[in-house]
Structure formats: structure tokens, C-alpha cells
Structure 1
């Protein structure tokens, strides 16, 4: 079984501790790991004596993890001593001795780790914790409570602070890791590990360094967020250009992750991500035992606040009126002044749960000596985890309410101290649902607005660059718009009325972010746009119709337009314009920036008088599709891999990359396989894919993996023909990062049509194109048709040394020779 390259760091089987100070590691180290741990103590200022062999390390094998806490000037000698053990991971902790040359120490550690192919935390690391394994490989004196959330921080001080807070409020962790200097082991590597870690259900990240690669970061965080909630706190926004902060915001939305702005919100996210129920919107009903707490909560529903005040159904209000005492409030907030009882709390919550206009409930309780909050909190602890919508509570106060909050935290239904923090927590859950919808979006398999003339457009740009131009001439800019069928007309005819403020001009502009590529913005144009630049909304290319619509409606400019300002046909043109401009900057990497300002409505058309397009020779030497769209952080849907597929009997199918909306079709395909076919593919009698498997197969990051499907239009029962999956080929990168494991399955009724050969040939081409060194699969020894196919494709058929019933069928992917 493959080990992930970070397994030696996160779950070491053998451990070496080198320190001249006592470390917390031995306070909770379980006996199983202790037996494979070698402790080497040093006197202050002296190099310790290292043993010839280490516990748990067999002759000829490598040590999993070395933890070093020694004075900086002694590190070089320590590294020379431990090099013979060949550690696969290394933690270099901060030492109390002042380092006279920190840069030298960073170079020393980084160079040594790279030379020895070793994962590295440090130097000056706070280390990591794995509470469920009893591993405290950090400088924090206490091992955190075991939980299902992972904490990843680029700051040792933030990690120390969160661990201290978590101990007080009983929040547990699956892992807590402080990265420090990311010279070797980087944030994307850790996210890749945590995405597949069975002990981790959610991930919280603190970032304060510049990202080394926006593409690698997006690739890793999208993979993680497709299967687990991810929340990110990033420092330094005040010191960054507004454009960079907008790009980071847009990137996290498209990754399906949630960004928080304040340290306290990170704690809120850690608490509420334990909730199994996710709201589908931000509409909140507030239930309180006083008007003031309710008002404080609903103040968070102000413009662009984390919540929206729900409008209760008339039926709900009538039922509440019968239930509550005279003088109570029933129209949201729901406020009662009578002593709280278990039955009353349950009935009110149930009524609010049943209201279709409510996405979740905030419970706001202030101290009241007439109410038995122990019994009320017990009722909440039982009701909330089973509720169909999130129930987030706030028990205001400290001395009397703190034990109650802790009891609810321990029961898995987190309680908050202030109305604002509870409302923010709900907003985090709502933002997660919103961003998950964005994560699912992808471009159509084929252009819906006419095939763009990409080669003609790029030739036009190259001609302009050849003349030494940094900006396209107006005629060339308009020609480029026509190459991509952008629905925009020139505002230059004498019969057109002059512009005025009543036109409420809009603007669209694109700028290239260093980390995340083309960032598209929509907002006010003309003078209005120059005076209010922050009213624009932003997103990353590529866009589709859904993403364009969401972006427009996020902008403050749109929210303040008069109702019906854009007639429906014109609004559709606006969305098409954004989609096609997204295609333009995706397929023409020479375009550095683009601005269309002003854009006005004239009748049933969008018109402008000015298009400015900046170009550069430094981008776009290669076809972006072949170059993997290196100028972008989100790989567009690879339309070039879509091809027609003759299936015989006058049937024509399609071979194409899989899409998120194929999940149900894929599940139907798996369910329709015979038991023998399922066993041959999955080596089990499983009848369907789990939700996590479905997500993993259909949420594909084309930058580093691929799933291809063969589809055909088939009728089911008496229904209309619809696209049906008849074959699947898929590869996932192995934990070593160099190779991939493939999977191939063809529907029982579709074998013998050459589908397997076509799918695997395309898959092998793609794996080679993406720089993989090998591709392999485990095939049952008695699966003769599969073994025969793979051998004909040039693969090597080797026995599996660990299982005689399996064969390892693999191929070395040497670069294609042209």
C-alpha cells in the first residue's frame, strides 16, 4: 500500500528526538510509538552521541521522522550526524538561543532537506500535533483534545494561540501544524495530505506569507474543499493592493472555501464546521428571551452582513401567537419573556424549522433566574444535532453561562458568547454553501455562442506585437471582440444620444493577478466608477453563465440599480459578454488587461465607445491548451479532449472529460454494471459509489488528474433520450507525486466496441502531457480481457509480490517524440 509522502511527518512509525531541552513529546507518547522512538539528549552547548542503530528502523530502511531542537550554530553538525539514518521527514524547532544569521539557517535546512528528499518543518518551527495518535511534536506544553478539524498555520504564534484557546473551550483537532518557512514542505502539500486524511473532516488555515504558486494552491485547496469544509484567515490585507485582495477573495470562492476576516471568526468556523447540517441560504430566524439580544443579532443582517432576516410565513406566525404569552413578538425576532422550559423551547424551534422561508435559527438567551438553563441546554443539545436546519445558540454572560456553553460544545452543538459571534458563525456556514455551488461550476463541453476564432485572434495580437504595440489599436480591439462573438456594439453614431449620469454606465475590466491569473470585474463605469471603485464584484476566469450571473448580482452597483434597468434580453447579453470575455483572456494569454468603459443600454443592445486591451510578448509563446493554461489558476474545461465516438449501429457517442454534473449519471452507470464487472473493477461487491467517491471522480482538477467518460444518447423506459455514461477511464496521482493509478470500466452491453482502447489511449496521452513519470493499475489475475487490452497498449504485466490474485500493470511515460 502506498504511503503519502507526508505520512512520515503526520503519522511516523519511527521517531528520533534530538534536543538539549526537555520537549513535551514524551508526556503523551503512546507505547506503540514509544517503542520505536530513539531519544538523544544533549548537554547545553555539546553535540550528543548518536547510536549506530535506531529503534524501529530496520537495516537498509529509512527513519520516518527526526525532531531536532538544538542551538542554530550546531544544526549543521547535527544534520551530518543524522544523515546516515536518512530521515524522510524533519522538524527543526525554534531554540532559546538567538540565531545570529537566520537566513543562513533557513538555507542550510532547506538545502539539506532537498538533498536528502526529506519533508521539512522549520527552521524555527512550532511543530505539529496529532492528538488522536498521542503525538505532541510541538512546543505547546499540552496535547490538544482529539477532534475532527485540522489547523494549518503559517505562524507559530497563531498556532500557539489557537491551541491555548481550544484547550479552554474544548475544541479538538485531528492535526495542528505550523508551517513556518515553506522552503520544502509547502501549504499545498499539507492540504493534499489532509484532503485524504480519514481523521480530518474540516480544515482551518491561517496564511500570512506570499503564496509561492497560485496554481498549486488553487489545485490543492479545490481538491480539499470538494470533500471537506475549508476556512481561511489571511493577514496583511492592509498592506496589499486592493486588486490582490479581490483576487484572493475570488480564488477562495471558486475553490469552495470560506474566507474570514477576523481572528475570532476562525474560532467560530472551527466550532460550527462540526455541524452536519449546512444552510442553503442566509435567511435566519432569531429566537430570544429578550429584545436586546435579538436586536444585536439582527443588526448583523445590515447591508452585506453575514445573515438575512427571514420573513416568517403567516401560518408560522399564527401558530407562534397561540403558543406564546401576550406581549411576546412573533414576526422575527421571536421573543418571549416567560420562563423558558424544555417543551416551550422544543415547540418554538420545531415551528421555525418547518418554515420554508427560514434557512436556520439563532437562539439568543440572556441570564434569567426564572429559567432552568441546565434543562433548556439539555433540550437544545438533543434537538439541534437532529434538526433539518442549523440551530446556533448564544448564551450571553460568563460566570453562570460559561459551563452551559461548554456542555453544548461537548455535545457537538456549539454555543457562542455574543450575538455577533453566533451570527457570524451562521454566515460562515451559509458562505460555505454558496461557495460550494461555485466550486461545482464548469464551462460547457462545447461553446454555446459560436465557436471562437482563436487562431485568428492570436494572429491578430501577434501582428500588433510585431509592430511594437503595447496596446491594441481600436480597430484591432473591436476585431478581437468579433473573433469571440462578444455582443457589444460601437457607440459612435451621430444619432446616438450623448451619455449622461442617468445612463448609469457599467464597466467590465480584466487584470492579471500574479498568483491567480485573469481577474474579471463588473461594476459602475464612467465617472461613477472612478469615484466608487469598491462597488464592483470580481471573479476568476474561466466563467460560465451561472458564475457570470452570480458575479453581477454580488456587485453593489447591480444591487443599487433601479428594478428592470436591464431588460431581460439585455441582461442575457451582459452575461454572455462576461462569458465570452472570459474565453478571450483564457485562450489569449498575451492579453494582460482589458477594460470596456462605459457600457450603456440602448434599446435592446449593449454599447460602448471605448475598449482598451493591453498585450505583452512575455505571455503566450505556446498554445495555452498545450501549456496547461499556465497563466491561470483555474484550468478551463479541456474542450480539446472532447471527440465524437462511433459506436456502431449508426450510434455516435462522445468521449469527453467528466464534469461535476455527471455525478448522477456516473452513479447510474455503476449501479447498472453486472456483479462480475463491479468485482473486476473494484475488487468488491459494492453496488454504488459512496458520496465521497462520487465527488472525487467528478470534481476533477484538470491540472493534475483526469477522468474521461464515453457517453451515448439513450432512451430509458418511455422517456426522451438522454446522455448516458457507457465507459469510464480515470487516473489519480499517487501519493509519491510522480505517477498515477488508473481505473477503467466499460458497461457490460458496450464491451467489444473498442471503448476501452480509445479511453485508455487518451488517458495515457493526457498523463504523459501532464508530466507524470508512470501510470499503473492493479488488475485481477483472472481478468484476462483487461490484461490483454493493457498488454496491447504497451503496458508491462508484473505479479503483485503481496497478492498472487493481483497483477501490477504499468507503463513508463517517456516524453512523446515528435
Structure 2
């Protein structure tokens, strides 16, 4: 794959500093001095209109007068001069510009100059980082294009921050802790280069083993999420967010009123497989622990201590942080009863008594580590009479090497246990001066594990559907409202849309007068419910627009007139279509729930679930998730809510039909994926009991669609492309299925590679591997379908699936071209598989708007060369290595021929 297009910014060889100066206190002087002092191995060119020499180096008045190539320009001059500078850079062939100069929001002239400069940069293909940035550093390369005047150590962590002030604070804190960086990137306002693109670069950066992000806001959520998920699959990513309570989600429905932007950001990060923390200290601590490959498989902690006081305080901290204290198994309890003094605590925390010897410590900790109910062990040592801190520490170090579960060591005290702490540091064991710090790290590790499980979820928009939804009818209902200039669907229309997606609803039938209402009620059967039908009235109860449990016709006629009178008095401006008549549904064991959709400015649609009814906003009981969701994600949503605790058998009530409830949430996910016009939705109340689930009330808010967008372009997470699944047939009549690869295909993919011949494996991977490594397996099966695709050809025989072939492409960073690879099982060669699979891959690439496809085949593979030629590739022999053939194909359709004159 060709170098990332941000390489001129992050790894330049020739740098021009526009505004480089010898004037003390100026930005140009600070940046140029840092570049000179950083031992940068490339060439530096000062650019200054008034001085011929800066820092002892000859200066030029313009970038275009510099002899030799320039990869990057650092601009430290006033922004009013920026358009001319960018034009000069474009003519010189510069591909990256860093704006190391702040500007005031109130100065319209500077804003206009900046907009003009961005337009010029786009014309020349120049990428701009900033403005309002501290700068850019690559400590591992001695490159420091910033105005930061303190030391920055080289290391393996990348720091990307949206705030220059916060970035300097983090750098100062990190230096005091001996933490180093591979890259430090100050994003600033991110008017051009933003988080997603920077993350893309860092994912492939061999110097970076972990990524730290400070985020304030996100411009392109799809790009941000795609890059974040790609990074989290290979490297630990830790995020600190500022402005949690800014830009709250706003809307017309209860779902929107219940959600804050910080909650949506949390949900997005959990789906991305990264860890969110609250403070700078947590940011670096979590990064160090994750980079040291500490991992947990759950949130159940065992505490072993020789002092019940510290043990109880640690247990209190665990409760506060939401860490579960493990319940030791019966076998573990028996072993501890046999090995410990009779007065041990007989529970968790495991107090092994103050005079505990090193061997007693080891015994208790080993039992806890071996217990299947335990995910991690916190060991608290208090120096008391008869104890041996150093020998105990040595035994713990040895025990950690034997166990796959993490241990967290807290030796309380200072001078007495300093030698043990030095031992832990040398052995790279996780040790903490206070137990609560250890518990906080354990909580973060368990959250990281949970989020990594969330990362594996790639639901389809229609996953879990038993029947295909009537999408055309739902779109017709929405189209009618749009033609009438309405953004709000009535309850009756909203229920029509829900029913089209097989969500059980209590039907609403419109009555335009009392006589029609009486006829409908007689048809439905008493008792009935009357509700005002108006697209302008969102909350019917607020205007007295609802009457329940109407038992007969006289009561119905009286209620009809009263509802109309109250609604017209409260909202004389509202359009009233009539009054809807519905059956009065009463279920003794029902729980009232709420399912909704809201819209976040950055991340798009968000699904909400929680307690319903009239007190929904007072209860504040909700969980949320970015669509699409699947069974696993739906179960996690339900588990997060308080109402979820009483959906099982509760007092004298039987459990609700959980499969029916999960089905509703899955169908809501389908609806959100397939109907991008839906901006908000409330289904409240949803009545759930042992008989099933029924939506009693609903309201949908719609929005206009952009003129052109990618498939599912309204969503932050690209769903599994179910529409690409199709059946085909080989030349010999063998039926096959072609579908995108999923994470659960890992075992089948591994078997496919194992069964390839040694020659085929070498030709594909340029290595004599026998099977894929775990990291390669993850890379090939956990896909972001927005930027890559792998289509597997599957043959089913005797209930088992066999992968016959796989074709995949990966987009280049420019998002316009892609590289492809094709693998066919040796014993399935010659059956037309290559042509079928490659044509399917072309269609997928065109759908994503890609323009060019590039790949490689061996020159000796004549069959593959014939196939590629037949499929329309341009075949060229690589001039440097005639054994390698490069094949390219333009994916865009040929322009129509001009008409004959």
C-alpha cells in the first residue's frame, strides 16, 4: 500500500518554517529553535521577508524560491498572509502545512483569509493541520515543530489533543512521571486534518504502541468511529473527553430530553473498543497498564489482606467504582479454611490475619487466582510484627509469572516497604501506594475488556428479523407527511411505520366526529381509549387530549367533545385531524417501558431504552446504544437499566417475554438503519409481560435527507452489509453463497489458510506461514465495512460450511482507491470462482464510491492473468521485478460517447 497521505506532515524530510525568526518571544523563533535543537535529521529552510539569515541558516523570502523539495511548511506568520503562502506552497509541491499561529474569532478578516487559504490548499492537494495548535512533535525522530519549551521524552505512546493548553499540561505531567511519546499532535480547530485521519496514520505507525486522545468535539463521526475502531483492534486507545455537558442532545421527544451528549459519546467509545477516563492521571495510568499487556476477563475482584481495616476500605472503594467483589467457590473456601487460621474472615475480602507469613500470603493469593469466579486479585500488605514485606513481595512476583490473571499489589507504608516497591518496578508488576488506585485501574481494565467485546459486534440492519419489513409502506407514510410539509407523524402514522417493521402496536383508528368514533368503538369493543390526533401536539396528556377506560357510548360522546374542547383551548394553533379510537389494553403483570430514538449532532441516531409511562423524565432510567444493535448489545442495554432488574420474576409477577422485548429493540434498529429520515422517535409506553410486548403510544419526528449519501451514511457505525449476501452457482452446478466476512468466521478462515498449499500460502502472504497469527486473524475477520470489504464464497454440505475462496479490498487513506487480494482453495481451482467473486468485489467497491482498484498476481500465474484481463484490468509488468505483475482497474463507468454531429 502506498504511503499515507499525511506522511509529509508526520514524517517530513524537508521542512520550511515561514516566519522563522531570531526575535525573542515570537512563535517563529520558538518553533525554529525547537526544530534546530531537536536533532532533526532532515533539511530546515527558514523563510523570512526581512532577514537573509535566521539561526545561522540562509533564509529565503518565499517558499517557492527554496532550492530542492519541501515536504512540509510550518506557518508562524499572521493569518492574513496565509492565502499567498499556501499558493506558493502549492506551486512548490508542498503537501502538508502546520498552522502554528492562533487567531481571534472576532477578526472576520482573518476568518475570510483562512477560508480562502483552505480553498487554495484543496486545489493543490495540500493538507492543513490547525489552526490554534501547540504544534506537532515526533520525539522518536527528533522532530519538534512546536512552541513548547520544555522536555518531551521519546516513547511509544501517541498523544493527540484538541486543546493546546491541556496538551502542555499533559506533557508536563508525563515528563514528571518519566513517560515518553512517539508523537504529540495538537489538533486545534481541525478545520482540515482531524482525528479520524490522524488515527489512521497512527494505526500503521510502528513507533506507536498506544494512543491517548483528548477530544472536545468531533466533526466527522463516521470517519472518527472507523479510525477509532481500526486503532482499537491493534493498539490500546484511551480517551479523555472535555465539555461533557456541552451541546446536550435536544429534540421534541422524551428520548431526546433524557439523553446528554456525554452519554452518547460514552456509548460511541464503548462500541469502538476504547477506554474512556476522567482525568489526566487516569489517562496515563490506564495507558501504561494497557501497554504493559495487563488484561482482565471480567469485573470480579478478590481482595487478600493481612488487615481487615484496609480490606474493608478497599471493598468500599470497589462498591463506589462499580467493581464486583467475587464470590469464592466452595472449593476455594474449603482450601482457605484448611490453610488459614480459624479466625480468618471467611469471605471476600480475604483477611489472612495480621501476622501472615509470606507462605500464607502466597497460599491465599494462589487459591484466589485459581478460582474460576475471580477475574483479578488485589493484594494488600500492611507491615506488622512478624511480617516480611520483601519475601512476600518476591513470592508475589513469582506468582504473577505463573498466572494469566492480573494481580494488583499495594504495600502500605513508605520507608519500610520501599525495597519491595523497587522490586515490583523492576519486575514490571502493577503496584500502587493506595488500594483505591488499584481498584480504579481494575475497573478501567474490566471496562476495556467489555468495550473490546462490544467492538466485535457487527450487527446487520435486519439482524434478528423473522420476516422482511415492509419498507416501501413505511417510506410511503413518511413521504405523505413530507409532501404536506410536516416533520411530525401523528400517532396513527407512527404506528403504521412501526407495524411495517413488525413491532406490535395497539392500532389507532381515526374518527373525524363523535358518530364515527362510536361506530369504531363498537367495532373494536369497549372499553376504549380516545386520543387527540394532531401532528402539532407531541404530548397529548399536556393538553388533556387523552381519555382512558371509556366503557359505553354515552361516555364516549361526552369524552370526545371534552377532548376537542380542551385541546382547542390549550393549542388553538394546532391542526386537529380528529380523535383516534383504540382498544383499552389492561394487563395485570405488565411493566411500562420506553423505547426511543434520538439524534446526536455528531454521532447521528441513538437508540434508547428504559422505564416508561408518564414519569419517564422523572425516573431518568435509560440506557442507550448506537445502531445497529444485535442480541448481545440489546441484552447489555437492558441489563444497564433499573427497570431491567424487575423484568424477570418479581414478587407475584411472572417474567416478561424477554425474546419479544429484544425483538422490538432489534426491529427498532432495523427501522433506524433503513429509514434515515427518522430523526426522533418515542414508543411510550411499551407494555411488556409474559404474553408479549405491545406499543401503546408512539410518535416519530422526520428530517429531510441530504441530496447524495453513501449507504447508511446517516449512521456513525456501518452495519453488516446484509444486502451483499446472495446465492450463486459454479460452472459445475455447485451452489454457493457469497457474503461479507464476519468476526465469527475466524475459525473457518483459519481452516481455509491451513488447507492452502505451501505455494499458495507463500504467493499470498510472501511467507511460509502454516496458519494466520492471532493479530492477522483479527485483522482479516473484524472488518470496518466502510473502508474495507472481504467477500467469502461458502459451500454448505451436510450442515457444515466450507470456505472456497475469499476476495477482499482495503481502501487507501485517500478513500478513492483500494488494493485487492483474491484467494481460492487449491482443490476448487478452475470452476469460475475467481470471476464470480471479483465481480462481486467490484460492485462493493463501486457502492463505496471508490475509483481505482489495484492488486498483485504472480507473473507465472497465467490463469489469473487471463482472468484479470477478461475482467477489464490493465495488466503491466513491474519494471523492477518481472516476477510481479501489477493489475489495475478503473471502477468508474466509462463516460458516454459524445453524440454524432
Q: TM-score normalized by structure 1?
A: 0.88
Superposed CA offset, 1:753-796 (max 9, x none): 22211111111122122122211002211121111111111010
Q: CA deviation at 1:708?
A: 0.6
Superposed CA offset, 1:428-450 (max 9, x none): 11111111222212335876411
Cα distance in structure 2, aligned partners of 1:117 and 1:413 = 48
Q: CA deviation at 1:342?
A: 5.4
Conserved in 2, the CA contact under 8 Å of 1:153 and 1:207?
yes
Q: CA deviation at 1:76?
A: 7.1
Higher mean displacement: 333-342 or 684-693: 333-342
**Residue equivalent to 2:759:** 676
Q: Find 2:43's aligned residue among 37, 40, 57.
A: 37
* Unpaired stretches in structure 2, ≥5 consecutive residues: 23-28, 249-258, 509-523, 528-582, 897-901
Conserved in 2, the CA contact under 8 Å of 1:728 and 1:744?
yes
Cα distance in structure 2, aligned partners of 1:327 and 1:138 = 62
**Residue equivalent to 1:762:** 840
**Residue equivalent to 1:718:** none
Q: Find 1:656's aligned residue among 730, 739, 751.
A: 739
* Unpaired stretches in structure 1, ≥5 consecutive residues: 716-720
**Residue equivalent to 2:889:** 811
Relative distance call for 1:470 and 1:2 in structure 2 (3 A) is closer
**Residue equivalent to 1:532:** 619
Cα distance in structure 1, aligned partners of 2:302 and 2:486 = 58
Conserved in 1, the CA contact under 8 Å of 2:661 and 2:688?
no
**Residue equivalent to 1:178:** 186
Relative distance call for 1:75 and 1:472 in structure 2 (3 A) is closer
Relative distance call for 1:134 and 1:468 in structure 2 (3 A) is closer
Superposed CA offset, 1:403-436 (max 9, x none): 8657645643343343333212111111111112
Cα distance in structure 1, aligned partners of 2:491 and 2:76 = 63
Relative distance call for 1:16 and 1:621 in structure 2 (3 A) is closer
Cα distance in structure 1, aligned partners of 2:47 and 2:355 = 62
Conserved in 2, the CA contact under 8 Å of 1:509 and 1:593?
yes
Relative distance call for 1:489 and 1:123 in structure 2 (3 A) is closer
Q: CA deviation at 1:472?
A: 2.7
Relative distance call for 1:412 and 1:676 in structure 2 (3 A) is same
Q: CA deviation at 1:344?
A: 4.7
Is 1:160 the equivalent of 2:176? no
**Residue equivalent to 1:441:** 457
**Residue equivalent to 1:774:** 852
Q: Find 2:644's aligned residue among 558, 563, 569.
A: 558
Is 1:450 the equivalent of 2:467? yes
Q: Secondary structure at the match of 2:477?
A: helix
Q: CA deviation at 1:806?
A: 0.7
Is 1:727 the equivalent of 2:767? no
Q: Secondary structure at the match of 1:506?
A: strand
**Residue equivalent to 1:743:** 821
Q: How does 1:164-313 map to 2 (within 5 A)?
A: 164-208=172-216, 210-241=217-248, 242-302=259-319, 305-313=321-329
**Residue equivalent to 2:721:** 638
Relative distance call for 1:292 and 1:483 in structure 2 (3 A) is same
Q: Secondary structure at the match of 1:295?
A: helix
CA RMSD in angstroms comes to 3.6
Aligned residues: 801
Superposed CA offset, 1:589-631 (max 9, x none): 2222221111223551223321212223x13877xxx831121
**Residue equivalent to 2:447:** 431
Higher mean displacement: 255-264 or 786-795: 255-264
**Residue equivalent to 1:3:** 3
Q: How does 1:123-162 map to 2 (within 5 A)?
A: 123-141=131-149, 143-162=151-170
Superposed CA offset, 1:493-526 (max 9, x none): 6468876998441111111222222211111111
Cα distance in structure 1, aligned partners of 2:754 and 2:797 = 16
Conserved in 2, the CA contact under 8 Å of 1:306 and 1:423?
no
Cα distance in structure 1, aligned partners of 2:156 and 2:301 = 27
Q: CA deviation at 1:256?
A: 1.6
Cα distance in structure 1, aligned partners of 2:851 and 2:646 = 54
Cα distance in structure 1, aligned partners of 2:773 and 2:161 = 31
Relative distance call for 1:376 and 1:185 in structure 2 (3 A) is farther
Cα distance in structure 1, aligned partners of 2:180 and 2:386 = 34
Cα distance in structure 2, aligned partners of 1:43 and 1:381 = 63
Max Rg structure: 2
Q: TM-score normalized by structure 2?
A: 0.81
Q: How does 1:472-621 map to 2 (within 5 A)?
A: 472-489=489-506, 494=526, 503-533=590-620, 535-559=621-645, 563-564=649-650, 570-616=657-703, 618-619=704-705
Superposed CA offset, 1:157-211 (max 9, x none): 2222222222222333333222112122210001111222223232221112x21
Relative distance call for 1:307 and 1:461 in structure 2 (3 A) is same
Relative distance call for 1:790 and 1:319 in structure 2 (3 A) is same
Is 1:394 the equivalent of 2:401? no
Conserved in 1, the CA contact under 8 Å of 2:160 and 2:212?
yes
Higher mean displacement: 507-516 or 357-366: 357-366
